[in-house]
């Protein structure tokens, strides 16, 4: 089964906007989910990250919205910002996001 990029965002978040722009510039197709409009999506992000942290980017099986494998756990009290958790990346900068997408074969170097 093929995989897709799913990005959990919030409209007020500048990092969410930058992630959307980067993916568009890099021609990476993605599904964007606004956690302020979709409370079930907000609950998923909170379960995975511990709070409503956006953008949270996941690699999902085609047609699914959750990571294709459980994300690696965070150390107690650790920030998720920019941490590669395998199938998930939260609040990454462009360099971190690009490297993560390359690692997963979503885009070429």
39 occurs within a structural domain: yes
Domain-embedded: residue 30:
yes
The number of domains in the chain is: 1
pTM for this predicted structure: 0.95
List, for residues 23-59, the tens digit of each pLDDT value.
999 999 999 999 999 999 999 999 999 999 999 999 9
- For 4-21, the pLDDT digits (tens) are 999 999 999 999 999 999
Spatial distance between the Cα atoms of 90 and 62, rounded to a whole number of angstroms: 20
In a domain, residue 89? The reply is yes
User: How many whole angstroms separate alpha carbon 60 and alpha carbon 103?
Assistant: 15
- For residue 1, pLDDT beyond 70: no
Specify if 96 maps to a domain.
Answer: yes
Measured distance CA(29)–CA(38) in Å, rounded: 20
Residue 109 lies in a domain: no
The rounded mean pLDDT for the chain is 95
CATH number of the domain where residue 17 is located: 3.40.30.10
34 within domain boundaries: yes
Summarised one tens digit per residue, pLDDT across range 82-93 is 999 999 999 999
Domain that holds residue 69: 3-103
């Amino acid at each position: 089964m093929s995989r897709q990029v799913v990005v959990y965002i919030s409209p007020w978040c500048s990092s969410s906007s930058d992630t959307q722009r980067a993916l568009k510039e890099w021609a990476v197709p993605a599904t964007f989910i606004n956690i302020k409009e979709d409370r079930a999506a907000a609950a998923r992000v909170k379960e995975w990250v511990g709070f409503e942290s956006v953008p949270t980017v996941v690699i999902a099986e085609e047609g699914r919205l959750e990571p294709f494998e459980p994300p690696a756990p965070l150390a107690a009290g650790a920030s998720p910002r920019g941490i590669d958790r395998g199938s998930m990346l939260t609040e990454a900068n462009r360099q971190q996001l690009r490297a993560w997408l390359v690692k997963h074969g979503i885009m070429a170097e």
